[in-house]
Amino acid sequence: MVKIGVLGLQGAIREHVRSIETAGAEAAVIKHKEELADIDGLILPGGESTTMRRLIDKYDFFEPLKAFGQAGKPIFGTCAGLILLANQIVGQEKPHLGLMDIKVERNAFGRQRESFEAELAIKGVADDFEAVFIRAPQIEAVGNEVEVLAEYQGSIVAAKQGHYLCSSFHPELTDDHRLTEYFVKMVEK
């Protein structure tokens, strides 16, 4: 059984753990950089990307997270996690981890009160995935190696590049675990 970690600094940690376990994998909350050595894949949860980056720096996670991804270990970034993975962020000079060849815009669908749910077709996952968008980013552009998995009203909201997966929405906030199952299969491969 593969072991998937959830970066446990901020965000919907408990919900991701439940989703990983429902998808048939072992889950671990990662609070120390040394724990990255014990897992096969990692989820960067939603939350607030600037706060998460401060915590990543405070707990000396930055280089270990980059090395984890560069070593070929799968990483799934949801909402703020997607922003952490992007190599370009609109209105920001430098990216965070910069592991995925995507350009993102933060809060592209509005503030907290504009949160919504929408049914999406996600390539290789589902034709009817109920996605929860909360202060969600959108992917404005993708590199040649990036596969677009889902769009909402013309905006890219899910993508994959090799062993990296990202979504603008929160798959962990519903009882539909098919996107987490898709990531578990990526980790198993």
Give the count of domains, the chain: 1
pLDDT tens string 31-60: 999 999 999 999 999 888 889 999 999 999
Q: Which residues constitute the domain of residue 52? A: 3-188
Question: Stretch 20-32: mean pLDDT, rounded?
Answer: 97
* pTM: predicted TM-score of the whole model, two decimal places: 0.95
Residue 11 has pLDDT above 90, yes or no: no
pLDDT tens string 101-144: 999 988 777 666 668 899 999 999 999 999 999 888 999 999 99
At residue 47, the pLDDT reads 84
CA distances to 93, 131, 159 from 128, in Å = 37, 9, 17
At residue 27, the pLDDT reads 98
The proportion of the chain whose per-residue pLDDT surpasses 70, expressed as a percent, equals 97
Cα–Cα distance, 102 to 87 (Å, whole number): 6
At residue 135, the pLDDT reads 86
CATH of the domain at 18: 3.40.50.880
Cα–Cα distance, 80 to 53 (Å, whole number): 10
Residue 12 has pLDDT above 80, yes or no: yes
Amino acid symbol at 121: A
Helices (H), the chain: 13-22, 49-58, 62-70, 80-85, 178-188
Catalytic positions: 79, 170, 172
At residue 112, the pLDDT reads 64
Q: Which long-range contacts (CB under 8 A, 24 or more apart) does 144-148 make?
A: 144/101, 145/101, 146/100, 146/101, 146/102, 147/123, 148/123
Work out the pLDDT band at 14, boundaries 50, 70, 90: very high
